[in-house]
């Protein structure tokens, strides 16, 4: 749905909200000019008459180098991140004010919130963090609310929008600007709630800084993104900001995760989620959602649920132990913000798997294919382990590792694939600007033996696996999940594991 915000705001009114101490002359001139802001942008290339351009330093470029081009494009005002902590300063380029603001990046979420009417105060806002499971859990939250006949929105890896009407996005956690804009849009469209994935990049880059979360949830922490964070300590500290620095009413923690168990000691009032009833039932004194017993089967799992909100036997269509954690976390989030236990239980069996997450493709007399987004060592291990429960023949694993991403995870993923799968095929997964053979060489370092194939072209790799797998085998195709592209160099080529497998199983593309 096309949506344009009706918002406009006087520049001086916005500056007054920020409580910047304007010198008298500057204030007079702004008052006379009566500049009205109709559009906010972080990118000089999008600036136009009526735009307020935020010139902030980034990871590879510095937005402050593009002030000239923003002015050329007609920007009406520029906010600039001060190079030092010096107090606010205003200079002029003709009638365009250039206003230096200390900590602008950190204040961006707040500033944009004033412009877009701070919708996180008007609707329920959920922030979900963790290395793995954010997309699944946020989608489950939104799906659950939709099943209860309310509108829900999501922002995350597979897109932003009302549940089921997503628009693809570049980031898991959008920019501070897009988040406030989207929230205002979802609020106008009548959403009762927005479930957001909060990535560690998003937390470090202050993308959710001024969002008032009704609930925040922590799922797990395992190796990823060390190219960006450097160490696991820094990575954990990034995630921890959501819990200790930002605003939230309720906290939900998966205490089966070692880091989660540690955080829970710091937030003992948080709602605890666990699959280990025996271990925690006596010690947890706050709200809790536990699985007392779980029976995994071909179509998902039957779960005996014990919680501080009620008890029930529920059925889930999602495969794998980790998806029970995701389901219970989604439930704990909704319970904490006031959804009724009985209502949630009445529709839980209708919750569907999320696209590209343990998504099963079957065809008579053919191996079962599972397309999954496991792109970290922990996720790959959990996905393979989940499938061993269903294994009667051989387990295949087709995977690769992204270029321009944490190199350290490559051999670790190889070791895991080798440990759990009978047949391993290494292939390309978004090599980006790296040489694909260098990436697979890094992966190969992790294998102890030589029982693996390297087939760079992903289509060929999958066709090879499906041609050689027996009918009772399971083929896990990991790493790309919902992605409908292969990034080579700077080009984003059309490619989808899900489309390929569906075509192969409809025999549209011939199997030998």
Ligand X SMILES: Nc1ncnc2c1ncn2[C@@H]1O[C@H](COP(=O)(O)OP(=O)(O)OP(=O)(O)O)[C@@H](O)[C@H]1O
Ligand Y SMILES: N[C@H](CCC[C@H](N)C(=O)O)C(=O)O
Q: Could you tell me which stretch among 174-182, 375-383, 448-456, 488-496 binds ligand X (CB under 6 A)?
A: 375-383
What are the C-alpha distances in Å from 129 to residues 45, 135, 202, 333? 32, 9, 10, 12
Closest CA to 271 of 335, 207, 214: 335
42 binds ligand UAG (CB under 6 A): yes
Termini Cα distance of the chain: 43
- Which of 113/133 has CB closer to ligand X? 133
Among the listed residues 123, 260, 402, 416, the single contact to ligand Y using CB under 6 A: 402
Stretch that binds ligand Y, among 62-70, 135-143, 144-152, 477-485 (CB under 6 A): 477-485
What is the Cα 447 distance to its own chain's centre? 30
Structure tokens belonging to residue 155: 């922002």
Residue 289: beta bridge partners?
Answer: 273, 307
475 binds ligand X (CB under 6 A): no
Q: For ligand UAG, which is the closer residue by CB, 25 or 59?
A: 59
Q: Which of residues 63-92 bind ligand UAG (CB under 6 A)?
A: 63, 66
Cα 230 from Cα 242, distance rounded (Å): 19
Do 487 and 432 meet the contact criterion of CB atoms below 8 Å apart? yes
Q: How far is the CB of 209 from Mg ion (least distance, A)?
A: 20
Residue 372 in contact with residue 320, Cβ under 8 Å?
A: no
182 binding ligand UAG? (CB under 6 A): no
Q: Does 172 bind ligand Y (CB under 6 A)?
A: yes
Give binding residues for ATP as ranges: 130-136
CA distance 303 to 314: 5
Q: Could you say whether residue 434 binds ligand Y (CB under 6 A)?
A: no
Half-sphere exposure of 277 (CA within 13 A, CB side): 14
For position 161 contacting ligand UAG by CB under 6 A, the verdict is no
Among 209, 214, 256, 372, binds ligand X (CB under 6 A): 372
Selected from 107, 134, 225, 239, the binder of Mg ion by CB under 5 A is 134
**Residue 130 within binding range of ligand UAG, rule CB under 6 A:** no
- Find the Cα–Cα–Cα–Cα dihedral 143, 149, 152, 157, rounded to 10°: 20
Q: Token pair for residue 300?
A: 């998902």
Contact letters for Mg ion, residues 178-197 (x by CB under 5 A) = -------------------x
Residue count of the chain: 512
The yes or no reply on residue 430 touching ligand Y (CB under 6 A) is yes
3-state secondary structure of 429: coil
Judged by beta carbon, residue 100 or residue 359, the one nearer ligand X is: 359
Question: How many residues make contact with ligand UAG (CB under 6 A)?
Answer: 21
CA distances from 302 to 346, 389, 411 (A): 14, 14, 35
Q: Fill in the DSSP letter of residue 377.
A: H
> CB under 6 A: which stretch of 106-114, 125-133, 409-417, 450-458 binds ligand X?
125-133
Interface residue list for ligand X (CB under 6 A): 130, 132-136, 157, 172, 197, 219-220, 322, 325-326, 357, 372-374, 378-379, 382-383, 481
């Amino acid at each position: 749905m096309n949506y344009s915000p009706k918002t406009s705001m006087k520049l001086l009114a916005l500056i007054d909200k920020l409580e910047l101490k304007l010198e008298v002359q500057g204030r007079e001139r702004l008052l006379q000019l009566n500049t009205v802001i109709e559009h906010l942008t972080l990118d000089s290339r999008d600036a136009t008459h009526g735009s307020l351009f935020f010139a902030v330093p980034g990871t590879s470029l510095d937005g402050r180098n593009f002030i000239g081009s923003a002015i050329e494009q007609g920007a009406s005002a520029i906010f600039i991140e001060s190079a030092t902590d010096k107090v606010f300063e205003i200079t002029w380029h003709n009638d365009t004010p250039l206003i230096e603001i200390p900590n602008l990046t950190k204040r961006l979420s707040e500033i944009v919130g004033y412009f877009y009417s701070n919708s996180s105060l008007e609707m329920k806002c959920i922030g979900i963090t963790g290395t793995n499971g954010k997309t699944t859990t946020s989608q489950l939250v939104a799906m659950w609310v939709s099943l209860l006949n309310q509108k829900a929105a999501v922002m995350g890896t597979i897109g932003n929008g009302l549940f089921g009407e997503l628009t693809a996005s570049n980031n898991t956690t959008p920019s501070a600007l897009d988040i406030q804009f989207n929230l205002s849009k979802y609020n106008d469209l009548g959403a009762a709630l927005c479930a957001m994935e909060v990535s560690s990049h998003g937390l470090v880059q202050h993308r959710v800084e001024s969002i008032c979360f009704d609930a925040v949830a922590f799922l797990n922490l395992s190796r990823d993104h060390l190219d960006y964070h450097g160490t696991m300590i820094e990575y954990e500290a990034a995630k921890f900001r959501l819990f200790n620095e930002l605003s939230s009413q309720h906290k939900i923690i998966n205490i089966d995760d070692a880091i989660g168990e540690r955080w829970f000691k710091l937030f003992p009032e948080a709602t605890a989620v666990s699959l280990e009833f025996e271990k925690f039932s006596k010690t947890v004194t706050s709200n809790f959602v536990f699985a007392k017993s779980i029976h995994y089967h071909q179509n998902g799992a039957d779960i005996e649920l014990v919680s501080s909100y009620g008890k029930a036997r529920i059925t889930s269509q999602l495969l794998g132990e980790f998806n029970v954690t995701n389901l219970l976390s989604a439930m704990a989030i909704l319970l904490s913000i006031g959804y009724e236990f009985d209502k949630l239980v009445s529709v839980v069996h209708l919750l569907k798997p999320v696209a590209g997450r343990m998504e099963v493709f079957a065809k008579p007399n053919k191996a079962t294919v599972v397309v999954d987004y496991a792109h970290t060592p922990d996720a790959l291990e959990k996905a393979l382990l989940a499938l061993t429960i269903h294994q009667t023949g051989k387990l295949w694993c087709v995977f690769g590792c992204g270029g321009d991403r944490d190199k350290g995870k490559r051999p670790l993923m190889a070791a895991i694939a080798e440990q759990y799968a009978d047949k391993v095929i290494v292939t390309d997964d978004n090599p980006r600007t790296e040489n694909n053979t260098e990436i697979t060489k890094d992966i190969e370092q992790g294998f102890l033996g030589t029982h693996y194939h390297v087939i760079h072209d992903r289509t060929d790799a999958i066709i090879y696996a499906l041609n050689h797998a027996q009918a009772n085998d399971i083929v896990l195709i990991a790493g790309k999940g919902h992605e409908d592209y292969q990034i080579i160099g700077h080009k984003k080529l059309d490619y989808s594991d899900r489309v390929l497998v569906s075509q192969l199983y409809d025999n549209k593309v011939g199997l030998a």
